[in-house]
Structure 1
């Protein structure tokens, strides 16, 4: 672990802080995409759900969706906080999540046309940020932040 002399304890490597910042940006982008998709970008999710199951049903489904999204994002942030604290298992979880997001994004890229084009870019942003957050976690200075089993046993 990188220990600096400027503060109350060990300093985290810049790469770890970059991964944390990218994760926060991915979470914020996920919220933005959900809000825009539900309320702004036509046809809105609210409009489509209202047409399919009525106003009451749409509100219920959106409440469930918001609850599931909140639980997912809270879990994601909790794991990212553990990574930031130096837990290797959390880095592994974030790596898998980032890879899955990227595979799902590129695997489904040609499946449906998203219009307008700017919406396709905004919609892909959380997945790209989540995948990008993985890269700094494996740079040399960041790897030293995660104790190996051999170093822990010594």
Structure 2
């Protein structure tokens, strides 16, 4: 088993570190897409919500949205950290999430109608990164990181 150095820790394969890095990139990309969609790329989410429900309701809705996003991303990072620590259940969860993200993205490619094209590509980036993070977790060197017997400690 090949192990990484430095922050990889003793006995942690570099493939696991690659999966961790891809997950961090996916989370960062998700935050970037949310912020750009709400405040930058026209028509912004803030503009659309303000036109529909008024400024106060729009801000309330966006705060709720940001809160839910923070909880989901925090949960995603928690599960990814457990995968990094060698928990097989976390690898399985990340595999399912990555596959679902990719299937939703592939299924919606022709229906998005997102313009400009760069925005459509940026919107797809978190999903593609999440799916890509699954691959290194199943490489031969990484599989040894996950014991076949369940662990009793948290």
Q: Which runs of 5 or more residues in structure 2 are unaligned?
A: none
Residue equivalent to 1:138: 138
1:114 matched to 2:82? The reply is no
Change (3 A) 1:4 1:25: closer
Q: Provide the C-alpha distance between the structure 1 equivalents of 2:80 and 2:123, rounded to a whole number of angstroms.
A: 22
Superposition CA RMSD, Å = 2.0
SS of the equivalent of 1:130 reads helix
TM-score by length of 1: 0.92
Moved over 6 A (4+): 1-7
The alpha-carbon deviation at position 149 of structure 1 amounts to 2.4
What is the number of equivalent residue pairs in this alignment?
Answer: 150
Residue equivalent to 1:17: 17
**Residues 70-99 of structure 1: CA deviation (Å, up to 9, x unaligned):** 000000000000000000000000000000
Q: Which runs of 5 or more residues in structure 1 are unaligned?
A: none
Q: Provide the C-alpha distance between the structure 1 equivalents of 2:5 and 2:131, rounded to a whole number of angstroms.
A: 32
1:126 matched to 2:121? The reply is no
Partners of 1:23 and 1:80 within 8 A in 2: yes
Residue equivalent to 2:42: 42
The alpha-carbon deviation at position 110 of structure 1 amounts to 1.0
Aligned pairs (5 A) from 1:26-105 = 26-105=26-105
Change (3 A) 1:64 1:4: closer
SS of the equivalent of 1:149 reads coil
Q: Provide the C-alpha distance between the structure 2 equivalents of 1:19 and 1:128, rounded to a whole number of angstroms.
A: 13
